[in-house]
Amino acid sequence: MTTPSNNQTERPPVVAILGHIDHGKSTLLDYIRNSNIVDGEAGGITQHISTYEIEHNDPERGVKRITFVDTPGHEAFCDVRSRGSTVADIGILIVSAEDGVMPQTKEALQCIRDDGMPFIVAINKIDSPKANIEQAKASLIENEVYLEGYGGDVPVVPISAKTGEGVDDLLNMILLVAELEEFTADNTAPASGVVVETHKDQKRGISATVIVKNGHLQTGMFVAAFTAVSPVRSIEDTTGKKREEVFASTPIVISGWSELPPVGATFETFPTKKEAEAYNVLEKETTEKAPQEIRKTASAEHAIIPLIIKTDVSGTGEAIAFELKKLENDRLSFMILTNTTGAISEADMKLASTTENALVVGMGVAMDAQAEAIREREGTTVQMFSIIYELVDWIKGIAKSRTPKLLVEEVQGSAKVLAIFNQTKKAQVLGGKVKEGALKVGSKIRIMRQEEEVGRGVIKELQQQKIKATSVEAGMEFGTAIESDAEITAGDYIEAIEQFER
């Protein structure tokens, strides 16, 4: 437990719900959101926001706030965690009373354990005629989830996300765990937290949903996340209300970023834009020293294609990922946001629509109605396939169009400068001898001094034995007029170069 300091005060918990597909995560979140949204303004929630606060009246603790992170899937949640950011304080592992532990339950459980956060098991669908709570508990114990009442300390709450039965008990349990963990924050410090969602809008520009994990944020400040910076002109909470200031565990939307901050990036707050930009520079320098596979950040020289892969069987997803790896090179890589089985869902499309240039590909799967609605609204690129090589060929085409062009220089000839005859602002007249290749009139040149480039120029004229020439071959002495801003001296080398893209 954390021992509060003089400046530390209690803060609401941030909760993520994870589990196997179809076990009721979305239904539970919808029930909680519609029943408990602050001020009852469920209809005011911004479409793109998947993080929100609720108020819950606990019989023992009174009215308390809880923040929920509607994760698009445990893969995406784990990806955020792997970037060094702690998003949630408490995990809810949702398990169906009909099915018990399933493959994605195990993956979600591993994610929770890797994060090291306390968690609660919610056994859902207890209203179903097929429900078997004891069997679901047994399957959890078989997977080393040691529940309270069964020799362990992991809280378990039976619920029905459909009818709401047991949901209040679950919310009470969340507040009990939060009380035991003693989550605190320093509300006198400048705000810091995590970027959980980003969105680009023609009217509002670049917006980011962030969760304040410590400190306080108020209008007039500046926030910085990785290499992005934004003035805090206004603060909008998840009901669409404007706020003058917010404190820890509050999810808000900030608009006006200089670029899309990476999802999962930590943000810091500064009183001036100059200080925020200085933080950006430091972040960039730190990242540039990190291995490429860790930083995975797009640049003018390196493109990253974010992908959501949905397949009918998991083996197909693995095969696609394997084929994509073959297409990567020093100028292009893929960032697989999720690679799961089942229909393309609303959560998949939400993740794609808030990730710049993301693609969604499906192999032998359908798209549900909610996902289709987001696709039409956001214009997200979605392609369906039934043959794997057709999918790979399509991505090859995308990769080719997005790969940054590389400007390559090839040395056509090299010569040593033997004497300088005349130097003016427009041209430098000198003599030299070709060592390799050939020099030609009109060639661009590099001026090399002790193996370092000191300037560039263009060959305007060539002479051989005082007779004008269009080119001079290796072994020949020559005179030349070169146009360059750099001052050439005897002993320098000039290299004739040809530039082309590849």
Which pLDDT tens digit goes with each residue over 38-66?
343 333 332 234 688 899 999 999 999 99
Question: What's residue 160's pLDDT?
Answer: 95
Question: What's residue 500's pLDDT?
Answer: 77
Question: What's residue 71's pLDDT?
Answer: 61
Provide the pLDDT confidence category of residue 91 given band limits of 50, 70 and 90.
Answer: very high
Q: Is the pLDDT of residue 300 over 80?
A: no
According to DSSP, the residues that pair with 243 across neighbouring strands are 235
Q: Provide Rg for the chain, Cα atoms.
A: 30
DSSP state of 271: S
Regarding the domain delimited by 8-184, which CATH topology (the fold level of the hierarchy) does it fall under? Rossmann fold (3.40.50)
**How far apart, in Å, are the Cα atoms of 411 and each of 286, 464, 497?**
35, 21, 4
* Tokens describing residue 391: 């999918």
* Tokens describing residue 400: 């080719």
**For the chain, domain boundaries:** 8-184, 192-291, 298-402, 408-501
Regarding the domain delimited by 408-501, which CATH topology (the fold level of the hierarchy) does it fall under? Elongation Factor Tu (Ef-tu); domain 3 (2.40.30)
Question: What's residue 111's pLDDT?
Answer: 82
Q: Measure the CA–CA gap between 19 and 33, rounded to whole angstroms.
A: 18
Range with the lowest mean pLDDT among 107-116, 117-126, 443-452?
107-116
Question: What's residue 477's pLDDT?
Answer: 95
Q: Measure the CA–CA gap between 241 and 257, rounded to whole angstroms.
A: 20
Q: Is the pLDDT of residue 270 over 80?
A: yes
Range with the lowest mean pLDDT among 60-74, 106-120, 142-156, 362-376?
60-74
**192-291 CATH choice from 3.65.10.10, 2.60.40.10, 3.40.50.150, 2.40.30.10:** 2.40.30.10
Cα 381 to chain centroid distance, Å, stands at 18
Domains 8-184 and 192-291 share a fold: no
Question: What's residue 470's pLDDT?
Answer: 95
Sheet holding 242-243, edge to edge: 228-231, 222-225, 266-270, 192-201, 205-214, 251-255, 235-237, 242-243
Residue type, 201: D
Q: What percent of the chain has pLDDT over 90?
A: 52
Question: What's residue 43's pLDDT?
Answer: 35
Which pLDDT tens digit goes with each residue over 399-444?
988 888 777 888 999 999 999 999 887 789 999 999 999 999 999 9
Provide the pLDDT confidence category of residue 350 given band limits of 50, 70 and 90.
Answer: confident
Cβ distance 267 to 224 under 8 Å? yes
What contacts 325, CB < 8 A, 6 or more positions away? 334
Q: Is the pLDDT of residue 264 over 80?
A: no
Please work out, in degrees rounded to the nearest 5, the angle formed at the alpha carbon of residue 443 by the alpha carbons of 440 and 448: 105
Q: What is the average pLDDT across 354-358?
A: 85
Q: Does domain 298-402 have CATH number 3.40.50.10050?
A: yes
Question: What's residue 148's pLDDT?
Answer: 93
Helices marked H in 64-186 = 74-82, 103-115, 133-142, 167-181
Residue type, 8: Q
Provide the pLDDT confidence category of residue 195 given band limits of 50, 70 and 90.
Answer: confident
Which pLDDT tens digit goes with each residue over 230-263?
999 989 987 788 999 999 999 999 999 998 787 7
Better-scored residue on pLDDT, 22 or 78? 22
What contacts 469, CB < 8 A, 6 or more positions away? 441, 462, 463, 478
Q: Is the pLDDT of residue 1 over 60?
A: no
Q: Measure the CA–CA gap between 55 and 286, rounded to whole angstroms.
A: 40
Cβ distance 104 to 154 under 8 Å? no
